[in-house]
Structures are given as C-alpha cells and as structure tokens.
Chain A
Amino acid sequence: MTSAWTPRSAWAGFARAGRHGRPQGEPGVRLTLRDGVGLATVIAADGQEDALGRILADRFGWSLPGSGAATLVGERGLVWSAPGQWLAVAEARAGLQGLAEALRGVAAVTDQSDARAIVRVSGPRARGLLSKGVAVDLHPRAFAAGQAAVTSIAHIGAQIWQRDEAPTYDLAVARSFAGSFWSWLSHAAAEFGYEVDREAEH
C-alpha cells in the first residue's frame, strides 16, 4: 500500500549533516540522529509489577530495570522512567509488535514512537558536553553504562540513558521540543567541534 504521507525526521529543519563548531582537530562530539526508533511507555497496573517482569522475561527476554537503570541488549530493552513506569525501546516500531497484547491486564502500553526525538551523543567530549546542561552527576563513579535519568536540560524535559563506557548516551525529548533542544545542543557542542552523522530526512 502506498501513502501520501512520508516520514519526517523529528530533527528535520534543525540538524545539518557534517562538521560544525570549532573547526580544528578531531570533533569532540558526535551526534547521531535516531529516527524510526520504536518506543512505548509501559505502566504497570497496581500490584502487577512482578507479573509484568515475568511476562517481559518469558516473551521478550527483557529484564525490568530498577530505579535509574536501563536494561538494553543492542538496541532493544527497557529504560526506567518513574516508579512502575518504563520506556520500551526497539530499533524500529515493528520491534514492539505484540507488546500491548502480551501485557494486557498487567500494564498499560502506549506507543510513543512518533512522540519523542532521539539523538545519540558520543565522542571524547560527550560527557563534558552533557555536563553543561544536565543537573545530574555524570561522573563515571555516579553514572555509568546501564544507568538512566529523567531530568531537564535547558528547561526541556529529557530522558537520558548511558549505553556504554565510551561513553555513549541516548537522549530523548518530546518531539515538539526538538528545535529548542537542538538549539541548546548545537550551541553547547560548538566549543568541542561536533559532527552530525547524516542529514535529517524531510
């Protein structure tokens, strides 16, 4: 089936592919625009957290992360959002197929794939960049791979999870704030020199 509608990147009109900011040396920060990611909020019904954990483990091979944690294998898994609430993440929306049906009666599942803008932040100065806007201690002693936080950056609500010790972070903001968020991100990254990996699809 064809459609008159074409997917548009959340970062379209804001992010530009290529090298930006300080021109000397290697870029300190790499920004990877992540489009088409499958996202869904999972909110446990009262008293059903154990049942939810069991179903997710049996059916999807996922373990339910505790407060401030993320359990991801590759691009799939769960990020803690609030007590009894998680963000399910998959490479694409199709990766979350069957989730709502499997969790019927134990959790409310709401597709958020179109609701968030996600950018991956890596490179040698990734931590220094985020430290300028995140009021959470990102020092490796306090925040390491597999940890997650819901906080605000430049007065914009943001969810952040660290993927590896490089360090690599994924950042999610409400899609309608993508422009304002990019304004902060690009200005904050300029002093380190940054590279945007590809053009945002229009």
Chain B
Amino acid sequence: MRIRCPYCGERDNGEFSYLGDAAPRRPDGLEAQASAMHDYVYLRDNPAGEHRELWYHGAGCRSWLVVTRDTRTHTISDVSPARDVARSRRPGEAA
C-alpha cells in the first residue's frame, strides 16, 4: 500500500505510522463525564468500507495526515493534512 502524501508525493506505507480513527475528539478534561472519556478512549467503529484515519509521515515530512481509506480494498480516495482538517472543523464537530 502506498499513501500519496500531499507534501511529499506517493510513498511506501513503511514511511508512515498509523494512529487510528480520525473522528473521535477529546472531550474537555475538566468538563467531561467519566463515561464521555471512556467512549473517547475505548469506543471505535469498525466499518467495512470508507474510513477516515490519522497517519503520521514520520520518515518523511513529519506531517499528520487524514487518510480516507476503504478498509475492504485499501483504496485511498483522499489524503489531507490533518492541520487543514482541524482548522476547517467547527468546534464540537467530528472530523
């Protein structure tokens, strides 16, 4: 599998580290209920199909990326810098 880094171009997936689902947003630690923290830390969907996930280009430009990947075929339909995704997101909105 290769990932097309928006900065570096197409690179072998060995250059990247996988973090996981890009959707969960950390609740405010001072405000959140324990149950909300539990859900944030432990609960993940396991979709058969399109999945938005965080990858880190550690052996390249060291950027965090949001990769849209089909979990059945590994087809990657979109790669965006995570900072752009975060900046375009309204507060409280999932990735």
Contacts and interface: CB of A to CB of B under 8 A. Distances in A.
Interface stretch (B3-11, B19-27, B46-54, B72-80): B3-11
Contacts of A135: 11-12, 14-15
Interface stretch (A51-59, A122-130, A150-158): A150-158
A69 to B, nearest CB: 11
A7 B60 CA distance: 30
A149 interface: yes
Given A149-B8, A150-B60, A151-B59, A83 B14 contact: no
B44 interface: no
Contacts of A9: none
A152 B59 contact: yes
Interface residues on B, range: 10 to 19
Contacts, number: 37
Contacts of B81: 83
A184 to B, nearest CB: 15
A151 B11 contact: yes
Contacts of A186: none
A136 B11 contact: yes
B8 A68 contact: yes
B61 A152 contact: no
B66 to A, nearest CB: 15
Contacts of A82: 7, 60-63
Interface string A122-165: 00000000000001100000000000011110000100000000
24 contacts: A68-B7, A68-B8, A68-B9, A81-B61, A82-B7, A82-B60, A82-B63, A83-B7, A83-B61, A83-B81, A85-B61, A135-B11, A135-B12, A135-B14, A135-B15, A136-B9, A149-B8, A149-B60, A150-B8, A150-B59, A151-B15, A151-B60, A152-B14, A152-B59
